[in-house]
Chain A
Amino acid sequence: MLTNASLMELVRAERRDEAIVQLLPAYRRKVFGLAYSLLRDREAAEDVTQEVFIKLWRALPAFDGRASMSTWIYTIARNASLSALRARRPQSSLSDAEVMDAVESSNPLPSADVLVERAAILRLVDQLPTKQRQVIMLFYMQEQSHEEVAATLAMPVGTVKTLLHRARARLSASAGKMSATA
Chain B
Amino acid sequence: MSTPDSELDKHLAALFGGLDTRADFDVRLMARLRAESQTDATERGKRARQQELTRHRRAVLELQSRRRLTLRMLALDALGMSLPLMVAVIAAWSRFGGDVMDISRQYGPYIAMFLAALIAAVPLLGMWREQTRSPIRLF
Contact = CB atoms under 8 A, between A and B. Distances in A.
Contacts of A143: 13, 17
A153 B96 CA distance: 104
B1 A178 contact: yes
A57 to B, nearest CB: 6
Interface in B14-58: 14-22, 25-26, 28-30, 32-34, 36-37, 40
Interface size class of A (residues with CB under 8 A): 35 or more
Interface stretch (B4-12, B61-69, B100-108, B110-118): B4-12
Nearest to B9: A140
A83 B132 CA distance: 61
A158 to B, nearest CB: 21
A67 interface: no
Nearest to B36: A54
Interface in A103-143: 103, 105-107, 110, 114, 116-118, 120-122, 125, 136-137, 140-141, 143
B41 to A, nearest CB: 10
Given A17-B34, A36-B19, A179-B1, A50 B25 contact: yes
Given A29-B20, A117-B1, A172 B12 contact: no
Contacts of A157: none
A21 interface: yes
B134 interface: no
Contacts of B37: 16-17
Contacts of A121: 3, 8, 11-12, 15
B29 A106 contact: no
Interface string A142-182: 01000000000000000000000000100110011011001
Nearest to B1: A179
Interface of A: 16-17, 20-21, 24, 28-29, 32-33, 36, 42, 46, 49-50, 53-54, 57-58, 102-103, 105-107, 110, 114, 116-118, 120-122, 125, 136-137, 140-141, 143, 168, 171-172, 175-176, 178-179, 182
16 contacts: A24-B26, A24-B29, A32-B20, A53-B29, A106-B16, A110-B14, A118-B14, A121-B3, A121-B11, A137-B16, A137-B19, A172-B4, A175-B1, A176-B2, A179-B1, A182-B1
